[in-house]
Structure 1
Amino acid sequence: MLALPATAQDASSASALDVPDTHVVASLEASGVQIYECRQKSDGTLQWALKAPDANLYDDAGALVAHHFEGPSWRANDGSQIAGSVLRQAPSGTPNSIPQLLLAAKSVGAKGVLSDVQYIQRLATVGGVAPARACTSVGEEGRAPYLARYVFLR
């Protein structure tokens, strides 16, 4: 199992992902996988490409609050759901880990805890990079465990 680093993010990436004049709606720990799919490039070679995340998000008490899946999307237990689009990224403070992100959010579900979210920060990422082994057939999947903190802002 992966462990989160002691600090949420380093100072250089904090400013790159900050959003002024926002309020935290929720700050949740994610545990899951990044799913990669083997795809053929235009030159005929094969490479891993991100297909979708699959992670559960927990509050500080350990209660399951939401699920993160393809889109990228997040659905809370109350039925509220948002879809995100990447605005900026910054390197993870942990080597060989997916980047930290700032995403714009759009409500696509019921009224609830996530329905007023405007931005999502993916911070403190650990793991999740494409498999080191080469992919050998189109459509093959590889899963990479990852941890992160998602901060939902309005």
Structure 2
Amino acid sequence: MLIKLAAPTLLLAALIGPAAAADPLPDAIAAPGESVVLSVHAEGAQVYECKAGTDGKLAWAFREPIATLLSEGKTIGRHYAGPNWELADSSAVVGKAVGNAPGATAADIPWLKLDVTAHRGSGVLTPVTTVQRINTHGGKLDGACEKAGEFRSAPYSADYVFLKKG
């Protein structure tokens, strides 16, 4: 499996588009001093479970993401609970959210900055220290639910940017 990597500036320009200079990432998810290792598009779902909240009322609680990671229209990996990102080259990272910014609309899950807390395998993701989730579309599930233990998913898409120090 071949994963193409562009020069970081080209990759960043392709990822964010022409508005990059006018629209920098929100401070809460920016990663100054880090460079792009890989940028992928994800298509999938955010899975929710009906649970009682602290107030005793039933509500949808986020459970896990399930998404396919795409590069140039080809599947190169997957994203799942943990959160984990795993590529076909067997390299994988686990992240922990450390910052967030609102999505473009009320229906969009937030943009995130995640610190990598663990690595598996060896490959493209080996040097990655930070993951950003940007350009989110959909994924939020609001409203009351009827029965504890029910599951529902909300389709979403996002771009994930994998960064390394320096």
Structure 2 length-normalised TM: 0.81
Structure 1 counterpart of 2:77: 66
Which has the larger helix fraction? 2
Of the three residues 136, 146, 153, the one matched with 2:146 is 136
Q: Deviations over 1:57-87 (max 9, x none)?
A: 111x211111000011111111111111011
Q: Is the 8 A contact 1:52 1:69 kept in 2?
A: yes
Q: Percent identity?
A: 38
What is the alpha-carbon distance in structure 2 between the residues aligned to residue 80 and residue 15 of structure 1?
A: 29
What is the alpha-carbon distance in structure 1 between the residues aligned to residue 47 and residue 18 of structure 2?
A: 26
Structure 2 counterpart of 1:24: 36
Q: What value does the CA root-mean-square deviation take over the aligned residues?
A: 2.2
Number of equivalences: 148
If asked which structure has higher relative contact order (CA below 8 Å, sep 6+), I would say 1
Residue 107 (structure 1) shift: 3.2
Of the three residues 61, 65, 85, the one matched with 1:49 is 61
| Secondary structure, aligned partner of 2:27 | helix
Judge which range, 10-19 or 120-129, deviates more. Answer: 10-19
Q: Rg: which structure is higher?
A: 2
Residue 40 (structure 1) shift: 1.2
Q: Is the 8 A contact 1:71 1:83 kept in 2?
A: yes
Residue 12 (structure 1) shift: 6.8
Gaps spanning 5+ residues in structure 2: where? 1-16
Structure 1 length-normalised TM: 0.87
